[in-house]
């Protein structure tokens, strides 16, 4: 096995036993990036010099007996989180040359643990998309089939981990943007409870839905990264107060007696038969491991997509109003008035999908339509949240497919926004309810990965990690890597 194919915990063993140095591991990953990045396109920025400096510091730290589970581990950060001294573009022309003066809280917490930053991940512009085709810079390709999308909006993050260009990445999940690309790229992705991980320094898309989480090669790595980034942050008013458990301690492998609900609405029309079969086979593995499995119903699920595409664009319209060509970022320099500057800056700085969502949100918030659209969506959101709460009175977790289909071809849905939006139909309800959810690989269809997601109640990360880990203990799908790259 090549060093870049290792998991975090496998690399940790080699680093701690001095069989491998952080510098050697970093050079192996930099070599991998050089070999496959022209095909995959997972990065906006590769921080080669910073990576070598961090690796040297990690080796020095380990030589002095100071180490953490992440010391010397190569990582990537989605380019929607602020990194001091490193440009943060959101894959948008309007922030193409923006270099923050501060780090996001999650970046600070990771830096304290000594990993090695390889660079910033490509994404759909401002996290608006399901395929990473909306980046202003380039399309990211799925490492399993370069003619297909990696998912989005954290497509660069998922592709980098799957291709061995980073051991883990941080993504953001507003309507499935961690779990959907994790599923399409055959890796593990966790969307935590809303407020568990600080959003300070995350460039906002939809503030009541956005959440940062890890993309990793397996569940054990996922729990390790979550340990590093979770916890209260006084700089984020939505951050949940209180301490956090050791999530790796939840990985007991024992799920005997745990109650799993299988919502029938997630297996209806539009679900690829191969996806349906793979997820049901995975459910059988969980049953064999001792879980109690029962079908259930979440009838309000069918409204979640409509609710999302009112709430998210409305919050996007408000958040993106700050890009006016005056404060920071791109600005036209030959306009005659401030209003013309603003209009022309936004017209040329934002891409088509961002403009579409701004217009949708502005319309939904406008006089005469606010009550009919936005206010009604908030009321239905409350009902969806209550429906999940009721379900978790009966079940420890819910198990569903992550995506309706495996990865689709690049360009297949770009002219049909509604079809593209439906790619997230199974992931969006979790964001509406603010609950945690993890996606793990559970099968393949014609060489393309299929994902299963496990949903839990608010702050139920330990339960879903335990279930997902038990599944991976009983299978080897998460150990498979794409071939033919480089």
Q: Which residue has the higher pLDDT, 263 or 486?
A: 263
> 60-99: per-residue pLDDT in tens?
999 999 999 999 999 999 999 999 999 999 999 999 999 9
Whether the per-residue pLDDT at 228 is higher than 80: the answer is yes
Whether the per-residue pLDDT at 325 is higher than 90: the answer is no
pLDDT at position 435:
98
Is-catalytic flag, 191?
Answer: no
Q: Stretch 461-481: mean pLDDT, rounded? A: 98
Q: Stretch 109-127: mean pLDDT, rounded? A: 98
> 397-420: per-residue pLDDT in tens?
999 999 999 999 999 999 888 889
pLDDT at position 187:
98
Whether the per-residue pLDDT at 421 is higher than 90: the answer is no
Catalytic residue (choose from 177, 314, 423, 439): 177
Q: Of 268-272, 310-314, 392-396, which gets the smallest average pLDDT?
A: 268-272
Catalytic residue (choose from 153, 154, 423, 439): 153
> 201-221: per-residue pLDDT in tens?
999 999 999 999 999 999 999
Q: Of 101-110, 281-290, 316-325, which gets the smallest average pLDDT?
A: 316-325
Strand-strand pairing, 43-46 and 74-78: unpaired
> 13-55: per-residue pLDDT in tens?
999 999 999 999 999 999 999 999 999 999 999 999 999 999 9
Q: In CATH, which superfamily holds the domain spanning 3-257+472-479?
A: Amidase signature (AS) domain (3.90.1300.10)
Is-catalytic flag, 78?
Answer: yes
Q: Stretch 472-486: mean pLDDT, rounded? A: 95
Confidence bin at 266 (pLDDT 50/70/90): very high
Percentage of the chain modeled with pLDDT above 70: 100
Percentage of the chain modeled with pLDDT above 90: 91
pLDDT at position 215:
98
Is-catalytic flag, 445?
Answer: no
Q: Where are the chain's structural domains?
A: 3-257+472-479
Share the mean pLDDT of the chain: 96
Whether the per-residue pLDDT at 335 is higher than 80: the answer is no
pLDDT at position 422:
86
> 447-456: per-residue pLDDT in tens?
999 999 999 9
């Amino acid at each position: 096995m090549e060093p870049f194919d290792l998991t975090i915990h496998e690399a940790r063993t080699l680093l701690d036993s001095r069989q491998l140095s952080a510098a050697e591991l970093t050079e192996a990953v930099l070599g991998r990036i050089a070999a496959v990045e022209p095909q995959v396109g997972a990065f906006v920025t590769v921080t080669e010099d910073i990576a070598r400096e961090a690796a040297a510091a990690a080796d020095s730290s380990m030589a002095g007996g100071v180490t953490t589970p992440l010391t010397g581990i190569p990582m990537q950060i989605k380019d929607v989180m602020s990194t001091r001294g490193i440009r943060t573009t959101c894959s948008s022309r309007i922030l193409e040359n923006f270099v923050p003066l501060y780090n996001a809280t999650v970046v600070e917490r990771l830096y304290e643990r000594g990993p090695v930053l390889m660079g910033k991940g490509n994404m759909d512009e401002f996290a608006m998309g399901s395929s990473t085709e909306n980046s202003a810079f380039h399309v990211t390709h799925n490492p399993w089939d370069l003619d297909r999308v990696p998912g989005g909006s954290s497509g660069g993050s998922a592709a980098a981990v799957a291709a061995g260009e980073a051991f883990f990445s941080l993504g953001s999940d507003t309507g499935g943007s961690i779990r959907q690309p994790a599923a399409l790229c055959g890796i593990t992705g966790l969307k935590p409870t809303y407020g568990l991980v600080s959003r300070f320094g995350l460039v906002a898309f939809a503030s009541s839905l956005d959440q940062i989480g890890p993309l990793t090669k397996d569940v054990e790595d996922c729990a390790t990264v979550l340990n590093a980034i979770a916890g209260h942050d006084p700089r984020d008013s939505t951050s949940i107060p209180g301490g956090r458990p050791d999530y790796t301690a939840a990985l007991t492998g024992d799920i005997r007696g745990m109650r799993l609900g299988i919502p029938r609405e997630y297996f209806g029309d539009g679900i690829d038969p191969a996806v349906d079969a793979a997820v049901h086979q995975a459910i059988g593995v969980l049953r064999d491991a001792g879980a109690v499995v029962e079908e259930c119903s979440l009838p309000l699920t069918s409204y979640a997509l409509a609710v999302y595409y009112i709430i998210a664009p409305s919050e996007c319209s408000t958040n993106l109003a700050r890009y006016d060509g005056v404060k920071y970022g791109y600005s036209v320099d030959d306009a005659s008035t401030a209003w013309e500057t603003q209009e022309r800056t936004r017209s040329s700085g934002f891409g088509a999908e961002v403009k579409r969502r701004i217009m949708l949100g502005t319309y939904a918030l406008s006089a005469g339509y606010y009550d009919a659209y936005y206010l009604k969506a908030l009321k239905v959101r409350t009902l969806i949240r209550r429906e999940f709460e009721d379900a978790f009175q009966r079940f420890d977790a819910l198990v569903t497919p992550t995506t309706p289909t495996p990865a689709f071809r690049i360009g297949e849905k770009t002219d049909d926004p509604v079809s593209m939006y439906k790619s997230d139909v199974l992931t969006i309800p979790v964001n509406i309810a603010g609950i945690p959810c993890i996606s793990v690989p559970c099968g393949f269809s014609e060489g393309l990965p299929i994902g299963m997601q496990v949903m839990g109640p608010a702050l139920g990360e330990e339960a879903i990690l335990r279930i997902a880990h038990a599944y991976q203990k009983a299978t080897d799908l998460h150990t498979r890597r794409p071939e033919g790259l480089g």
